[in-house]
Structure 1
Amino acid sequence: MITSFDDYCIHQTAYPVAEPSTSDRNFYDRYWFNGFDDSGDYLFEIGFGLYPNRHIMDGHFSVAVGDKQYAFHASRRAPKDRKETVVGPLSVTIEKPMRQVRVKLEANEHNIECDLLFTAASVPHREPPNIMHDDGHLIMFTTRFTQLGHWDGYFSIDGKRTEVKKAYAVRDKSWGVRPVGEPQGGAPGLLNDEPGVYWVWNPINWGDFCTQMGTFEDRDGRPTQVSADLVPLYSNPDDIPEGEDPGIVAMKDVQHTVKFKKGTRMAGGAEMAFEDKDGKRYEYTLEPLQKFYMLGIGYNHFEWGHAYWKGELATAREEWDLNEVNPLDYQFIHNHQVVRAKMGDKVGMGVLETIVIGRHERSGFKEFFDGAE
């Protein structure tokens, strides 16, 4: 099918843009954003995905403030034209590629709204690819870039409007193949004898630069993927270099320690220690502020998970009392927290993402869903 994007010189295969080069039903293209301020009193996040081989587009907007988290979910049959990034009242609009993106949730029956403009402060920095096989079958192969910036606009819950002015922003854009939607039929996979995951991700805005760190570890605490980089930040988007930033500094040694809250798998604090190729060290601590459950934007959600078929168009609202949820429930283990970072006299703000399912020796987890002692 020929669409408007086919008029641009962007083709990577002999197919039209609307047709992925792979027939894998889990091929996807996805936006993720979050926003918070110096107080750490709120954290809003947006997820928006296209799954062309499943014919689904879905989106989520969720806000955690104080002891409550609210979520708007929407899903539709996917449009053919890639410029149509709209699901019901929720839209993502590229105002200036790699510089400005608008997220808008129009007035709706669920009484959750927003109009937020992301303005970039860094280059889109490519992270290491995520690759995973299941008994010889490639089930994950993705590209992802991360970009820091700021937000201007507002969000509103049940008529209570919160103005957002130069709030911290982190976003990523990823695409490729990853497990989504209803599970595939046939014989079950043989991923490993001891299923589980350990992932920690931590972008921090230090004002004139940011640090970006991420790692997967195996059950014994050995990194299977780890990286950290120092990325320059710019107050004027016009000063952001085109392409890769020559000021990026890759770390040759990346160490971290997460201190989990007793009886949970949620971080109560963390320490990071990096060293670049010249031997300069970057050591900082993290103090968690506002917590946010990724369930709010579809992760591990049994009903509104990514790429679940909900019909031609469906929307819903949810809310949770953050003091009442079971943090060891599978749906709530994946979490983000606004964190205040301290590196000597320097103070930064960012987000700490953790998901630990199954045994992890270094953290002291022995069972599938036991909490910290």
Structure 2
Amino acid sequence: MLTAADEWHVHQTPEPIAVAGTDRNFYDRSYFGAFDPQSGLMVAAAFGMYPHLNVADAHLTVVLGGVQHAVHASKTLHSDRATLRVGPVAIEVVEPLRCLRVTVDETDGVAAELTVTGTHFPIEEPRFVYRIGPRTFMDYTRLSQGCTVDGWVSVDGERHVLGAGAFALRDRSWGIRPTGAPDPQPHLPPRAPQFAWLWTPVRLPGRTIFWHLNADAAGRPWNTRATICPDRAGEEEHVHAHGVMTPVLEPGTRWVAGATLTIAADDGTDLELTYEPRAHLEMQGLGYRHPSWSHGLAHGELEVARETIDLTAPDPGALHRWHRQLLCDVTAVDRAAETTERGTGILEHLVIGPYAPLGLG
């Protein structure tokens, strides 16, 4: 099945680009986040292709004053992996691995144009491989990058500019993880769902710090890494580190209310970072565990919708509302140099099922 993507010299197998191995759950996905520490404005976009489901979807979500506005779009892919557009949402690769542009045509009062430019070469995180018994549940690669942002978002006629003072993040991941309709065949022997995820990129003067953790029910990491990326750092100039986070939950919930992260780096850097949340967004606004706009679900040839989420009316019992990103003020104390810096970070978290470090059963 030949498509326009086959003109690019990027093949990794003897198959056309339309064929991505044999697993129905193969996906290829982009995330963008832009944040204004002064106003608390949070903007995020996502774009995903699911070649074997023949579906592509995209989302924009904006947090303003306790209300989250979202645009969701889904289309039949028709094996076209060369067109980075789903309805009103489009991605332009201005300069690979450095500069990308996201545009959202006006949709029920919401529109955006954001250009993100990397402040360092992207980091390649350790390959995420997780099996439940003999079955592969996840197997993917992800890159992450701190960025500057230039552009705007408009909601119901009010335009908000993102530029000086704002910062951005992006990631790209591809491989295998659950997409589309759930597999009806249960795992044997039966096993209750369990997943623990923390991701905490922080923008400090002159550098971006990344730390993430996937852990089992006992808190044992199965994927984790800390990396310090100085501005303009090339691939060989990233500083590798080890990190340990101590989160605190809002009482009676699985939502993080604050955290402390210690970073011990190969170059001797010894940091203690304290996170103080000021705003949050729900990742369902980007399709994550959304009841009807979850990644890879079929919506026909093209469907587009706007949604509003009231963040002041949380529901701790609703699984699709557990996955959050917190916009945080971050205080970073360098214990070796005895200095203190102020920065801004994102603390993304999702904990499903038992997780002993937080007392969750």
Corresponding residue number in structure 1 for 2:298 = 309
Q: TM-score, normalised by structure 1?
A: 0.91
Corresponding residue number in structure 2 for 1:256 = 245
Distance of 1:2 and 1:296 partners within structure 2: 34
Amino acid in the other structure paired with 1:354: H
Distance of 1:272 and 1:340 partners within structure 2: 13
Which deviates more from structure 2 when the two are superposed, residues 221-230 or residues 156-165? 221-230
Amino acid in the other structure paired with 2:14: A
1:13-92 superposed matches below 5 A:
13-20=13-20, 22-39=21-38, 41-92=40-91
2:221 to 214, 220, 223: 223
Distance of 2:190 and 2:230 partners within structure 1: 39
**5+ unaligned residues in a row in structure 1: which ranges?**
235-239, 367-373
Distance of 1:204 and 1:283 partners within structure 2: 12
**5+ unaligned residues in a row in structure 2: which ranges?**
334-339
Distance of 1:219 and 1:74 partners within structure 2: 35
Are 1:347 and 2:342 counterparts? yes
Amino acid in the other structure paired with 2:231: L
Q: TM-score, normalised by structure 2?
A: 0.94
Distance of 1:27 and 1:363 partners within structure 2: 32
Corresponding residue number in structure 1 for 2:336 = none
- Assess, with a 3 A threshold, how the Cα gap between structure 1 residues 28 and 203 changes in structure 2: closer, same or farther: same
Distance of 1:106 and 1:33 partners within structure 2: 17
Contact 1:154 1:161 in 2 (8 A): yes
Shift of 1:192: 6.3
Shift of 1:327: 3.0
Distance of 1:40 and 1:141 partners within structure 2: 38
1:267-306 superposed matches below 5 A:
267-277=256-266, 279-306=268-295
Distance of 2:268 and 2:119 partners within structure 1: 27
Shift of 1:40: 5.2
Distance of 1:72 and 1:197 partners within structure 2: 27
Corresponding residue number in structure 2 for 1:168 = 167
Secondary structure at the aligned position of 1:46 is classed as strand
**Which runs of structure 1 show a deviation greater than 3 angstroms over 4 or more consecutive aligned residues?**
190-194, 277-280
- Assess, with a 3 A threshold, how the Cα gap between structure 1 residues 191 and 10 changes in structure 2: closer, same or farther: farther
Distance of 2:190 and 2:329 partners within structure 1: 37
Secondary structure at the aligned position of 1:195 is classed as coil
Q: C-alpha offsets along residues 199-238 of structure 1, whole Å, 9 cap, x if unaligned?
A: 111011112111100011222222222211111223xxxx
Corresponding residue number in structure 2 for 1:133 = 131
Are 1:6 and 2:1 counterparts? no
Corresponding residue number in structure 2 for 1:371 = none
Shift of 1:82: 2.3
Identity over the aligned pairs, expressed in percent? Answer: 33
Secondary structure at the aligned position of 2:163 is classed as strand
1:336 to 304, 325, 348: 325
- Assess, with a 3 A threshold, how the Cα gap between structure 1 residues 100 and 114 changes in structure 2: closer, same or farther: same
Distance of 1:87 and 1:57 partners within structure 2: 7
Distance of 1:329 and 1:38 partners within structure 2: 28
Amino acid in the other structure paired with 1:317: R
Contact 2:239 2:267 in 1 (8 A): no
Distance of 2:190 and 2:144 partners within structure 1: 30
Distance of 2:128 and 2:190 partners within structure 1: 17
CA RMSD of aligned residues (A): 1.6
